[in-house]
Amino acid sequence: MAASPPPFAAFEWMIAWRYLRARRAEGGVSVMTWISLIGITLAVFALIATLAVRSGFRAEFVDTILGANAHVTIYQSATVNEAGTLDRTIHDFDAMAERMRAVPGVTSAAPLIKGQVMANHADRNAGVEVFGIDAADLQNLPRIVNPETAQGDLSRFDEGIALGSGVARELGVLVGDRIKLISPNGVRTAFGSSPRVNGYEVVYIFSAGRYDIDRTRVYLPFAEAQSFFNKEGVADEIEVMVAEPEAIDSMALDLMRAGGERTLIWTWRDASGGFLRALEVEDNVMFIILSILVLIAAMNIVSGLIMLVKNKGRDIGILRTMGLTEGSILRVFFICGAFTGVIGTAMGVVLGCLFAIYIDPIFSFVNYAMGGGVWDPAVRGIYHLPAQLRMEDVMSAVSLSLFLSFVVTIFPARRAARLNPVEALRYE
């Protein structure tokens, strides 16, 4: 007795390949194959492109948070001072900063003065938030000291003021110009406080990559900020940077112990957690929607295979009478559908990866074609559309596409395998 051929034998591949190359006169199967192929390609391309933009947007947003802001901000609860008012300032800020630096995982701890004032140059005004910080501590903010996006000399920071690029644009100033900072609660006199107006040379202009930061933030030397805001000998908070920001929750208890009993902490997750959670929900919803798109594209394979089975009923009857088993017929038509899914997925992966790699020139062309203004940083928060190609995103898209393509192929393939050869040849 002759041995049965192994599954997916060479003759099964040969028959499937012949059917895939069918001429239009033989039922137009090749046209349906092309439609299925293009559908799978575009669906996988859309899925990979969306996942890449999603990952890039989150990475860029988080990087701007971690590169220009404190990973953890240390406060103190309010106490009543001698004047009978609530006081939240930190008096032993140097000692507290030293204790913070001793916590494992902390890379820097910088005392900070913060205040909101008006900046003025010529006839232009802008509301800004002043951060008073030592020059050495400012060097620990990579998004602020990035030489590729900054102008001026940061080594002269103690001689003037550093502005965000948005503030500089609003005021119309360049490095070397002088601006005024105006605080309504300034000089203390016998009749109360009068506005304080100080002039500073612009020695540095930075771009943190976030519109809201560049548009509102300026940096003053720490001692100058203490004097300007009448906070000599105290700090408003301690700005802590850590080696692993993603693991900040596990360090919270150690930081509170180092700060003392009045210590309060505010992490970068607390500050931006709501936005990050909204991004996560949006990511999941988009993946589900695009998965449905892939499923719809895979259903085109079913349509093509059903038409193929209908047009090849006579061939199926002949093949069965020649000795092909139901399993062989099933595998022949499964190969037809799976081949379309595999090739379409591969083409979609190539297009999706190319889109993620060349997103900047593609977006520039779209922006030019639309007359500009497609991406508004005032709304989006960042200045460009980012994309980050991650292996896990590509593999999830490939796995989903292949799984759906293989699953939907089984049903028409089983229909072909169960076709009665007698009925198929009755009228031939």
DSSP codes, 137-169:
HHTT-TTTS-TTT-EE-GGGGGGSEEEEHHHHH
Q: What is the residue whose two structure tokens read 């009857």?
A: 317
190 pLDDT exceeds 80?
no
In the prediction, which pLDDT does 127 show? 92
Provide mean pLDDT across the span 94-109.
Answer: 92
Provide mean pLDDT across the span 358-384.
Answer: 71
Burial of 50 (0-12, 13-18, 19+ CB in 10 A): buried
Q: What is the mean pLDDT of the chain?
A: 82
pLDDT class of 379 with cuts at 50, 70, 90: low
Question: Which of 44-53, 269-278, 291-300, 312-321 is least confident?
Answer: 312-321
Query: Residues 6 or more apart from 174 whose CB is under 8 A from it?
Result: 151, 168, 202, 205
In the prediction, which pLDDT does 178 show? 94
Angstrom CA distances, 232 to 45, 91, 224, stand at 59, 10, 9
In the prediction, which pLDDT does 1 show? 42
145 pLDDT exceeds 50?
yes
Alpha helices per DSSP H over 194-267: 211-216, 222-228, 252-259
pLDDT higher for 9 or 267?
Answer: 267
23 pLDDT exceeds 70?
no
Provide mean pLDDT across the span 118-124.
Answer: 91
Distance from the Cα of residue 294 to its chain's centroid? 22
383 pLDDT exceeds 80?
no
CA-based radius of gyration for the chain: 33
What torsion, rounded to 10 degrees, do the Cα atoms 35, 37, 39, 42 define?
-140
Q: Shortest CA distance to 239 belongs to which of 401, 51, 110?
A: 110
In the prediction, which pLDDT does 28 show? 47
pLDDT higher for 105 or 308?
Answer: 105
In the prediction, which pLDDT does 99 show? 92
In the prediction, which pLDDT does 17 show? 74
Distance, CA of 218 to CA of 128 (rounded, Å): 7
Handedness of CA 396, 402, 406, 409 (dihedral sign): positive
In the prediction, which pLDDT does 333 show? 77
Burial 404-428 (b: 16+ CB within 10 A, else e): bbbebbbebbebbbebebeebeeee
pLDDT higher for 332 or 258?
Answer: 258
The 3-state DSSP class for residue 230 equals coil
Provide mean pLDDT across the span 140-163.
Answer: 89
Give per-residue pLDDT as tens, 42-91.
999 999 998 898 888 888 878 878 888 888 999 888 777 766 677 788 88
In the prediction, which pLDDT does 338 show? 82
Angstrom CA distances, 144 to 57, 68, 148, 185, 293, stand at 20, 6, 10, 28, 42
Burial 349-387 (b: 16+ CB within 10 A, else e): bebbbebbeebeebbeeeeeeeeeeeeebeeebbbbbbb
Give per-residue pLDDT as tens, 394-417.
999 999 988 988 888 887 777 776
Given its phi and psi angles, is residue 105 left (phi above 0), alpha (psi -120 to 50 degrees) or beta? left
Query: Which tokens hold the place of 4?
Result: 């049965």
- Beta 151-152 vs 124-133: how paired, if at all? unpaired
Half-sphere exposure of 39 (CA within 13 A, CB side): 24
Distance, CA of 76 to CA of 258 (rounded, Å): 12
27 pLDDT exceeds 50?
no
Give per-residue pLDDT as tens, 244-272.
888 888 898 899 988 888 889 998 888 88
Distance, CA of 121 to CA of 365 (rounded, Å): 37
